[in-house]
Amino acid sequence: MLNGKTVLITGGTGSFGKKFIETILHKYKSVKKIIIYSRDELKQSDLKEKYPESVYSQLRFFIGDVRDKDRLRRACEGVDVIIHAAAIKQVDTAEYNPTECIRTNIDGAENVIHAALDCGVSDVVALSTDKACAPINLYGATKLASDKLFTAANNIRGSKEIKFSVVRYGNVMGSRGSVIPFFMRKRNEGEIPITHKDMTRFNISLQAGVDMVMYAIKHHLGGEIFVPKIPSYRIQDIAKAIAPDCETRIVGIRPGEKLHEEMITDTDSLNTIDLGKYFAILPSVSFTYSEEEYMSHHKSEKVPFGFKYNSGTNTEWETVDSLRQLILEHVDSDFKV
């Protein structure tokens, strides 16, 4: 699928980008070029040490910001596939710095779209978040706007052979700033702070997130938002899995935070297709295909009327034991209770 292709990853030095690069190099040994586009020269330097040019000559490192449309356009020349992972992601950071969040997450998305259209790119997949579904904070609102830009971009492609799609998933296990590394640090203090005793979240591993993007590149028709079928966990179970001997302290839900996360609302369900392993939310306006054509292509069916996908009402759950095993596999191979 990616052999002989040039792939550009915005935000390529983040948790997702690093796992995506590792996966491409393992599965697609004849990939023509992988361009890592990001602002952080220190993280790029660390990646260069991990992947020396003498061995990994297909890697290219571009210092650049998605806000800089000229630099982005230059980086996209000759590119076949774009994975857009760059974003300001921290909820509290976005609330305190709203204009900066808008410039990166919305203006940056628009710059990626126009660079892709101008440079003959064939496939664009943008990463989203469960917080973009019925958002209550600025981060989620900017990602919803970004999702709308990417899904609607298919309507302005003209005669160009290009497809834009989005992948939306929940908390990535062990990613920077997520709850598991936080609790692992806190257990040394003897107390675990919990926002709310009933809080739940969706859970996905980095590799599963990468696999989902690979699926989107291979199967997308353009305009979809792909959503994975993944388990939920209770925040209390995370605390028990990591630090069963520690006291817990309820500290209250933070500003802009939900008790449960959603990925598909009952309104979204009107346009949602069950693909088996994933759901696909189709665009409300599309000139590319009809709903019937999409279902026929994927041999799939619509979800039931009124369906919604919520971490609190999910039918699949992680247990304390399964969470410990997942932490060993995906976060810390030396983890011990």
Torsion of CA 129, 133, 134, 138, to 10 degrees: 20
Give the sheet arrangement for strand 33-38, strand by strand. 59-63, 33-38, 6-10, 81-84, 123-127, 163-167, 225-228, 278-281, 272-274, 301-302
Can you point out the beta strands (E) in the chain?
6-10, 33-38, 59-63, 81-84, 123-127, 163-167, 171-172, 191-194, 200-204, 225-228, 232-234, 247-250, 262-264, 272-274, 278-281, 301-302, 309-310
Q: Kindly report the three-state secondary structure assignment for every residue of 269-321.
A: HHHEEECCCEEEECCCCCCCCCHHHHHHHHCCEECCCCCCEECCCCCCECCHH
Structure-token pair, residue 282: 């189709």
131 is catalytic: yes
Question: Whose structure tokens read 């992947």?
Answer: 51
Catalytic-labelled residue, pool 18, 89, 131, 163: 131
> Could you say which DSSP state residue 205 is in?
-
> Hey, which residues are catalytic here?
131
